[in-house]
Chains A and B, each alone.
Chain A
Amino acid sequence: KQEVTQIPAALSVPEGENLVLNCSFTDSAIYNLQWFRQDPGKGLTSLLLIQSSQREQTSGRLNASLDKSSGRSTLYIAASQPGDSATYLCAVPNAGGTSYGKLTFGQGTILTVHP
C-alpha cells in the first residue's frame, strides 16, 4: 500500500526566506506527483504536477523536483511572502493503478510566513 509522508509537519519562517518542503512515498511505481495548496476553510488548489518521466517543474517562485528511485519530492519556494501561508500537500496516484487510479495524500505541511 502506498504511503506518503511530508516533513516538516509545520514550518514558520520570516518573509523573504527560501524554503523547502519534503514529500516521500513508499512505492516508486507512480504516474506522477502532485503538489497542492489548501487555504483555511477552502478546497485544494493544484500547484504543480510532475510526470514520472520528469525531474522538475517550475511555476513562478515554485519549483518541484522528483526523484522517483529514492521516493522523494521537494517543493522549493523562493522569496517567501505572507500570502504563501497555507497548508501544502503532496499526492501520488495509486501505485500500479491505471490512469484512473486513486490519489494517496500526505498529511501536509502547515506553512506560516511572518511579515
Chain B
Amino acid sequence: NAGVTQTPKFQVLKTGQSMTLQCAQDMNHEYMSWYRQDPGMGLRLIHYSVGAGITDQGEVPNGYNVSRSTTEDFPLRLLSAAPSQTSVYFCASSRQGPGNQPQHFGDGTRLSIL
C-alpha cells in the first residue's frame, strides 16, 4: 500500500552541488508531476510527464531536469543547486491527468541549499 514514495525526506546541500530527488509510484499511473511549495507562493508545478518517455515543463522549470524511463519512476534533478531552490518538493501521480483524476501526493522532500 505504498502509493507515492519520495526519497530522501530531508536534504541539505551546498550551493553548486547536484542531486536527484527520487519519486516512485506503485499504482501504474501514467501521469506524474513535481511541485515545489514555498511560503506565500503556494504549490507551483515544475515538470510533469504523461507517460514513459514523455515530459514537459510546468510553471517554474528553470534549474531542474526530469526524465521518465519507466512508468514507476520520475526523478527530479538539480544540476547546480542555488539557495532559491530551498523548498519542499512534492511528487504527485494519477492514472490520467488532473483533468480527470484526483492527484496522489508523496510526503515531500525538504531541501535546504546553503
Q: Are A49 and B102 in contact (CB under 8 A)?
A: yes
Whether, in the assembled complex, A69 has its beta carbon less than 8 Å from a beta carbon of chain B, the answer is no
Partner-contacting stretch, out of A12-20, A78-86, A98-106:
A98-106
Among B40, B96, B98, B100, chain A packs the most CB atoms within 10 A around the CB of: B98
Q: Which of B43, B44, B101, B107 contacts A89 (CB 8 A)?
A: B43
Asked if B105 contacts A101 (CB within 8 A), the reply is no
Cα–Cα distance between A107 and B106 once the two chains are bound (Å): 19
B42–A106 touching, CB < 8 Å: yes
Does A100 lie within 8 Å of B48, measured CB to CB? yes
A99 to B31, CA, bound (A): 10
Contacts of A28 in B (CB 8 A): none
Contacts A31-B100, A45-B105 known; A100 to B43 CB distance under 8 Å? no
Inter-subunit contact B102/A43 (CB<8 Å): no
Contact for A100 among B96, B103, B107, B108, CB less than 8 A: B96
Q: A31-B100, A43-B106 known; A100 and B50 CB under 8 Å?
A: yes
Asked if B13 is an interface residue, CB under 8 A from chain A, the answer is: no
Q: Determine if B99 and A97 form an interchain contact, defined as CB atoms under 8 angstroms apart.
A: yes
CB nearest neighbor in A for B105: A43
> Is A43 within 8 A of B90, CB to CB?
yes
| A 49-72 to B, binary, CB cutoff 8 A, 1 in contact else 0 | 100000000000000000000000
Bitwise interface map of A from 29 to 59 toward B, beta carbon under 8 Å scored 1, else 0: 0011010100001111110010000000000
A98 to B106, CA, bound (A): 24
Contact between chains at A102 and B59 (CB < 8 Å): yes
Could you list 7 further interchain pairs (A-B, Cβ under 8 angstroms) beyond the known A43-B4, A99-B98, A100-B99?
Answer: A32-B99, A43-B105, A44-B90, A91-B98, A93-B99, A100-B96, A102-B98
A-B contact pairs, 10 of them (CB 8 A): A32-B99, A36-B105, A44-B92, A46-B102, A49-B102, A93-B99, A99-B100, A101-B97, A101-B99, A103-B33
User: B residues bordering A, Cβ < 8 Å?
Assistant: 4, 31, 33, 40, 42-45, 48, 50, 58-59, 90, 92, 96-108
